[in-house]
Amino acid sequence: KPGATSDIIGLANLTAPDGVIAWFTELFEAFPDFALVVKKVIADEGSAAVHWSATATFNGTGTFEGFKPNGATIDIEGIDIITVEDGLITSLVALQNGLELARQLGVVPPAGSAADKAMAGAINAKTAVGEQVKKLRSR
């Protein structure tokens, strides 16, 4: 339905039809072999929940969320919650594990790797410094 919203949590907030078409065009250009499998649907007259999985190779001609294709493969799953009025989708909220997607794309280090541990150490050090600054300011 024109004006319907799609909130792909952590990635995009879209408005139909133009925003949805543009985002998925970019997705399919970046992942030309994108394959989605619907695993389960639960629905009533006004809504549906769809559990899905998707596989793809990041080797297309387009970018995805600003990143250039690097040949990485993804294997993800998620859940879409869809609201329907008069037979048309009025809103969609898509949930998937963005951190796992980022790891599979090589945007963040693999879980448990030396780089992952170093990143966690740097964030924890920053937190500790912030806590010390708060203590000093409250004196």
Distance, in Å, from the CA atom of 10 to the CA atom of 93, rounded to the nearest integer, reads: 11
User: For 16-53, what is each residue's pLDDT tens digit?
Assistant: 999 999 999 999 999 999 999 999 999 999 999 999 99
For the chain, the residue count is 139
Does residue 6 register a pLDDT over 90?
Answer: yes
Q: Is the peptide bond before 17 cis (omega within 30 degrees of 0)?
A: yes
Cα distance between the two ends of the chain: 58
**Do 72 and 105 contact (CB within 8 A), yes or no?**
yes
Question: Tell me, what's the pLDDT at 139?
Answer: 84
The share of the chain scoring above pLDDT 90, in percent, equals 93
